[in-house]
Structure 1
Amino acid sequence: MCGRISCHMCRPDYRKAASYFDESRGLYVQPDWIDVPNNGLSYSPSTNMAPTDVLPVLISKEHEQTGNELSQRVIKPMMWGMIPTWHKGDYKSHGLTTNNCRIESLMESRLYGKPLRNGQRCVIGCQGFYEWQTTKGKGQPKQPYFIKASQKCEAGPVEELDSWEKAMWDETAGWSGPQLLMMAGLFDVWTSPEGEQMFSFTIITMESNSSFSWLHHRIPAVLDSDEMVAKWLDHKQVSAVAAVRLLHPVTSLTWHPVSMLVNNSRNKDNNCNKPIDLQKPKPVNKIMDSWLKRGALPSANATSPKKAKEN
């Protein structure tokens, strides 16, 4: 399952991180970035992105009418959560949960089957995603974790923006910064009653393997090599059936616990994806601490301290 994502790189850094080796040119290439109206929605970098937010999405240039003038892979910002093509009315009112799609029923799905057969495959590259583990004890809150790709080089922590901003790129050596986590998805184009087009996507999920099941029974379909990314995007040479067979639960992931800041999707604090120490004592409740020191509970008529406003 995947319900929250961290992707807070600026456009230039994202293009560099998403670069690939073009064998025909013998050089690394940054994907072209193609903006679309999307009902006025646009990509806004954040460590806490939720369904209906807009993220950068990789697709093949074959989906573009001016494909010959573009890089083989292009980036197109799309809304997270596929809008059914048959939906009428406001794009947010279809009532379906479409941020994830199950690999087990892709082919037969009324919503996802057609985009899959039409080759509308995409890749969602990001710093990582969040998952919540059920903690022991009735009524206890779930503990959020940040999951990212295992890094092949010492490029600095994925969750630190400096690691992306200070990394180098050139067409002969490519990108020296952290690796993006690449997830397989499908996209579609919805046309509003007013004739405006919106691009939206969904992330494919599958049963977890033994290395991840302690955290959740579902896991996104992660593409853990550039070869996998290339094959998933190549709908001309790789059929839908063959592409789906490529997907499997990977073991090349790492994770760390994060604070409850991420629980609220409106909280865009840059610390959402930073690691925390679960062994560190949590702050003491101020009212309880005061009572313990005084030896008495505050009376019912006492003025209660104002609660901190929740972000």
Structure 2
Amino acid sequence: MCGRFTLTVPLQKIEERFDIEDTTLEDYEPSFNIAPGQNVAAVINDGAKNRLGVLTWGLVPHWASDPNIGYKMINARAETAHTKNSFKRPLETQRCILPADSFYEWKTENGKKQPYRIRLAGESLFALAGLWEKWEKKDGDKRFTCTILTIEANAFMEGLHHRMPVILKEELESTWLDPGIQDHHALQNCLAPIDSSIMEAYPVSKAVNNVKNNAEDLLNPL
């Protein structure tokens, strides 16, 4: 699964990396401990250009009666998303990218869970594959939410967890974002584990366990 990640770079770098032409992202600040239920930076394509805005992490299906269901939908299995009522529609036309520069995973060591920070070599920005949804009540209350797709761990991640978030290959990002592409097989080609050779990880402080902690020193290796 993917339950925490980071986005620590300046806004300009995000806009350049993902070819953003339009943004509604206000009051952006780097975050060292992004958690479910929080607002996250997200990239969508409106059919003509890439747009950067905000979604709440935890997908609320359009048919849900209770928006709190989103806390149970922070991740979607890439292998079966096309068969699930919650994810089938957004997989077809409401795909997004969540920019990130690392994510956290917990490994059991000596009976205790030790958090690790996982990143790409060179501390590169990367694209987490996501789905977004619009939920609206009759009184007009609207919520725009998202989930992160996960897949079976690659060789690098197997020692930490049996699942991992889908990190899109850069050359497939435009395919993933294109709302005009709805072919299941074309989309599945985007949802493969990234090459193990470009990943690295190191243990970090257990302070990351508390979502209230969001300081740069969380990134420091033990």
Which residue among 235, 256, 272 is the counterpart of 2:218?
A: 272
CA distance in 2: counterparts of 1:3 and 1:43, whole angstroms: 21
Count of aligned pairs between the two proteins: 220
State the Cα distance separating 1:9 from its structure 2 match: 3.5
Give 1 or 2: higher strand fraction. 2
1:53 matches 2:38: yes
Structure 1 stretches lacking a partner, 5+ long = 21-29, 37-41, 152-157, 159-178, 277-311
Rounded Cα–Cα distance in structure 2 between residues aligned with 1:2 and 1:61: 26
What is the correspondence of 1:21-32 to structure 2 with a 5 Å cutoff? 30-32=20-22
Matched letter for residue 112 of structure 1: F
Cα 1:88/1:43, change in 2 over 3 Å = farther
Normalized per residue, which structure has more helix? Answer: 2
The reply on whether 1:260 has 2:206 as its aligned counterpart is yes
Match of 1:115? Answer: 90
Specify which of 140, 143, 155 is matched with residue 114 of structure 2.
143
- On the 8 A contact 2:46/2:179 being kept in 1, the answer is no
Which whole-Å CA distance do the structure 1 matches of 2:113 and 2:70 have between them? 26
Match of 1:190 among 135, 139, 142: 135
Question: Alpha-carbon deviations, 1:123-178, whole Å to 9, x = none?
Answer: 11111110001102xxx321111111223xxxxxx4xxxxxxxxxxxxxxxxxxxx
Cα distance, 1:44 vs structure 2: 4.8
Residues 21-170 of structure 1: pairs in structure 2 closer than 5 A: 30-35=20-25, 44-62=29-47, 72-89=49-66, 91=67, 93-94=68-69, 97-117=72-92, 119-136=93-110, 140-151=111-122, 158=123
TM-score w.r.t. the length of structure 2 is 0.90
SS in structure 2 at match of 1:134:
strand
Root-mean-square deviation (CA, aligned residues, Å) is 2.1
Code of the residue aligned with 1:107 in structure 2: it is: H
Distance 1:97 1:8 in 2: 26
Contact kept in structure 2, 1:81 and 1:201, CA below 8 Å: yes
Structure 1 pair 125/96, CA: closer, same or farther in 2 (3 Å)? closer
- For the 8 Å contact 1:186–1:201, the answer to whether it is kept is yes
* Structure 2: distance between partners of 1:222 and 1:275: 23
Aligned with 1:231: secondary structure? helix
